[in-house]
């Protein structure tokens, strides 16, 4: 049975239960299987040798998630080719594609955790009550070690964009 963590996250002040471990700097990044579309999946190995900035959002169709993804898309231009910026949500892949097209998102790769929640459970962000992934940021180095992590205590708040970008720039 997966680990349940309580008392670490809320949504508008209401407590949430997160499924999975709390990852820390220096931990080996867990593998995952996320959907690029309904047929094709992506794993951690697909991004081997690159610095990975993983922005986790509950749903692209909400204000904070929209702003978070747009901000990292804008920042991606300055990070170079050795960095991949991923946005993970439980939105269906075709909804992610529609949102990216409408928002002009072209530097961030959106991946969906809708199918088996392997990312959410491996990274400790799967919300038991909502079956969504909780807002978090992970920076993973070229050797798949976690170099930066931010689990937001309140799901409706923004992450620390500047700290996440600084963590990426230390690695390239």
Closest CA to 161 of 71, 74, 85: 71
Q: What is the distance between the alpha carbons of residues 1 and 170, in angstroms, rounded to a whole number?
A: 37
Which position among 23, 44, 65, 79 bears the catalytic label? Answer: 65
CA-to-CA distance for 44 and 47, rounded, in angstroms?
6
Phi then psi dihedrals of residue 41, to 5 deg: -105, 160
Q: Are 138 and 149 in contact (CB under 8 A)?
A: yes
Q: What is the 3-state secondary structure (H, E, C) of 106-141?
A: CCEEEEECCCCCHHHHHCCCEECCCCEECCEEEEEC
100 is catalytic: no
List the catalytic residues: 65
């Amino acid at each position: 049975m997966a680990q349940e963590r309580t008392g670490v996250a809320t949504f508008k002040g209401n407590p949430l239960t997160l499924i999975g471990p709390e990852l820390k700097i220096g931990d080996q990044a867990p593998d995952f299987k996320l959907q690029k579309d309904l047929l094709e999946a992506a794993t951690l190995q697909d991004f081997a040798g690159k610095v990975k900035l993983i922005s986790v959002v509950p749903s692209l169709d909400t204000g904070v998630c929209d702003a978070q993804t747009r901000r990292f898309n804008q920042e991606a231009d300055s990070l170079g080719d050795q960095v991949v910026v991923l946005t993970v949500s439980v939105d269906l892949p075709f909804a992610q594609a529609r949102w990216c097209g409408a928002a002009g998102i072209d530097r961030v790769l959106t991946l969906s955790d809708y199918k088996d929640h392997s990312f959410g459970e491996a990274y400790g962000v799967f919300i038991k009550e909502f079956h969504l992934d909780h807002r978090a940021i992970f920076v993973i180095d070229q050797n798949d070690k976690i170099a930066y992590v931010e689990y937001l205590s309140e799901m409706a708040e923004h992450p620390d964009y500047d700290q996440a970008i600084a963590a990426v720039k230390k690695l390239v």
